[in-house]
């Protein structure tokens, strides 16, 4: 969208040093936990971090969002130091580390304390599929920003190792990943770990202000909500190089394959699905019915299978309805808004247009809360929670919002309604047989609503 700050998400995490299957998640995570040097009590570990003690930060996924999150982490606490980085591709690792080094140098011109916030020499710059393990082993706090398909594996490993975590959205791409995520979140809670999600609007001042008013009854009980994420689309194809395998080509263009990204309703528009959940006070729907398809999507990258539009209607147990629309139509009108209807009035929220309003009896209220960078706020609160030993855990709501987007995609692909129960019982597993750079990517058929079967 024209006014939106959309972080680049070119980070990939795929060059394999050995095959890892979805079935190997538990074993892989256990190996990380065994290898890591972990303080037995994470609460005691956080308490030890209080004051001026240094917190070693590691980045997994060196693309635009990952480096952006790391810059924000470095700025959040004077005791933070970027200690290690990892990505599937060596060129991404080098580019990310160099960018972050220059960023710290620039910040140090105005604040000398930044000179101590980058200590990431080449020996702690890791490339390859297994490199996430080395970062988790070396660091106190990990920032997970690889493509969504890897999130369940990386998150599980980080939690098993007792690390504090920033986890970019979405958190899974299929039902199998959701179930892994749900169990991992339980363990994070039991270990009293801080787990901050990349659903950044939950950390925006004026959005917090208006949604608080809505939940306090400013427009009466909410009866329906409609959110949009209409935009031109992702950046274009990363052209194939002669030495790339099919797997590398897909991974370099991961946004365009459902098995890697979850489709754009899961990878991108999930922000607006999350705000729909927020409007409904995080009560989950009982079912969804979605119409979706490919109207203007090109054939590049080769073999891409994501749709270019979704319109979903969520049904709630008490009869309420929630609606979401997203599309990738170049040249068409953009919109990223929330329209909420209560029994006494309405609310309209669009952070990019600075509109956080309620209207009751013809009187408009606009939030005047002090604005701040919501991306930075996520990390400010992340590190404050670690220092105070008062964990933030976004796990349940980040799981639920991701799940809503996935169930909508499943309904859109099949043309069938999908219930919350069906989602969690689904056998949908999009992962390849092995996360190996020489392995064949999984099949990527284009779904045909009415023909594609729900699994």
Q: pLDDT tens digits for 326-370? A: 999 999 999 999 999 999 999 999 999 999 999 999 999 999 999
Alpha-carbon span 305 to 250, nearest angstrom:
11
pLDDT at residue 194 tops 50: yes
Alpha-carbon span 61 to 23, nearest angstrom:
22
pLDDT confidence of residue 44: 40
**Residue-range domain boundaries for the chain:** 22-201+379-393, 204-372+402-423
pLDDT digits (tens, 9 = 90+) for 262-284: 999 999 999 999 999 999 999 99
pLDDT confidence of residue 334: 97
Share of the chain above pLDDT 70, in %: 89
Alpha-carbon span 253 to 230, nearest angstrom:
21
Q: Which band of pLDDT confidence, cut at 50, 70 and 90, is reported for residue 125? A: very high
pLDDT at residue 7 tops 50: no
pLDDT confidence of residue 19: 38
Average pLDDT over residues 422-434: 96
Global pTM value: 0.90
pLDDT confidence of residue 133: 98
Alpha-carbon span 267 to 169, nearest angstrom:
7
CATH topology (fold) of 22-201+379-393: Rossmann fold (3.40.50)
pLDDT confidence of residue 20: 40
pLDDT confidence of residue 38: 35
Average pLDDT, the chain: 91
pLDDT digits (tens, 9 = 90+) for 231-257: 999 999 999 999 999 999 999 999 999
CATH topology (fold) of 204-372+402-423: Dihydrodipicolinate Reductase; domain 2 (3.30.360)
CA 300 to chain centre: 24
pLDDT confidence of residue 374: 98
Q: Which of 33-37, 179-183, 299-303, 409-413 shows the lowest mean pLDDT across its residues?
A: 33-37
pLDDT confidence of residue 454: 97
Please give the biggest Cα pair distance in the chain.
Answer: 65
Q: Which band of pLDDT confidence, cut at 50, 70 and 90, is reported for residue 46? A: very low
Beta pairing partners, 197:
167
pLDDT at residue 440 tops 60: yes
pLDDT confidence of residue 26: 33
Q: Which band of pLDDT confidence, cut at 50, 70 and 90, is reported for residue 134? A: very high
In residues, how long is the chain? 455
| CB burial readout 246-271, b (16+ within 10 A) else e | ebbbbbbbbbbbbbbbbbbbbbbbbb
pLDDT digits (tens, 9 = 90+) for 66-119: 999 999 999 999 999 999 999 999 999 999 999 999 999 999 999 999 999 999
CB 233 within 8 A of CB 328: yes
pLDDT at residue 224 tops 90: yes
């Amino acid at each position: 969208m024209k006014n939106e700050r959309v972080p680049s998400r070119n980070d990939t995490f795929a060059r394999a040093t050995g095959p890892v299957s979805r079935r190997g998640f538990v074993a892989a995570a256990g190996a990380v936990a065994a290898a890591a040097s972990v303080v037995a009590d994470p609460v005691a570990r956080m308490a030890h971090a209080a004051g001026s003690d240094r917190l070693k930060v590691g980045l997994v996924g060196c693309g635009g969002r990952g480096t952006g999150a790391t810059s924000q982490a470095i700025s959040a606490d004077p005791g933070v130091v970027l200690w290690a980085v990892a990505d599937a591709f060596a060129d991404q690792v080098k580019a990310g580390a160099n960018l972050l080094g220059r960023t710290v140098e620039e910040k140090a011109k105005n604040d000398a304390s930044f000179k101590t916030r980058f200590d990431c020499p080449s020996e702690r710059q890791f490339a390859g599929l297994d490199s996430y393990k080395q970062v988790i082993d070396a660091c106190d706090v990990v920032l997970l920003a690889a493509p969504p398909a890897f999130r369940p594996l990386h998150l599980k490993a980080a939690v098993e190792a007792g690390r504090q975590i920033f986890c970019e959205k979405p958190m899974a791409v299929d039902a199998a990943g959701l179930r892994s995520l749900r169990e991992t979140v339980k363990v994070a809670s039991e270990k009293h770990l801080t787990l901050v999600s990349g659903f950044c609007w939950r950390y925006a001042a004026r959005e917090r202000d208006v949604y608080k008013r809505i939940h306090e009854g400013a427009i009466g009980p909410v009866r329906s909500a409609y959110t949009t994420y209409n935009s031109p689309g992702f950046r274009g194809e990363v052209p194939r190089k002669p030495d790339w395998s099919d797997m590398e080509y897909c991974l370099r263009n991961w946004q365009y394959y459902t098995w890697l990204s979850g489709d754009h309703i899961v990878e991108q528009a999930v922000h607006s699905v999350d705000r729909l959940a927020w409007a409904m006070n995080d009560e989950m729907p009982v079912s969804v019915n979605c119409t979706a398809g490919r109207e203007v999507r090109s054939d590049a990258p080769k073999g891409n299978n994501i749709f270019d539009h979704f319109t979903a209607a969520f049904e709630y147990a008490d009869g309420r309805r929630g609606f979401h629309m997203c599309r990738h139509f170049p040249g068409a009108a953009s919109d990223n808004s929330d329209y909420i209807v209560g029994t006494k009035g309405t609310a309209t929220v669009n952070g990019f247009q600075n509109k956080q309003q309620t209207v009751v009896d013809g009187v408009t209220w606009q939030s005047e809360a002090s604005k701040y960078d919501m991306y930075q706020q996520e990390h400010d609160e992340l590190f404050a929670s670690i220092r105070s030993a008062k964990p933030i855990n976004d796990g349940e709501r980040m799981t639920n919002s991701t799940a809503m987007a996935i169930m909508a995609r499943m309904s859109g692909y099949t043309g069938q309604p999908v219930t919350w129960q069906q989602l969690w019982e689904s056998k949908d597993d999009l992962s390849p047989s092995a996360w190996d750079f020489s392995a064949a990517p999984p099949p990527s058929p284009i779904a045909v609503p009415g023909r594609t079967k729900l699994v």
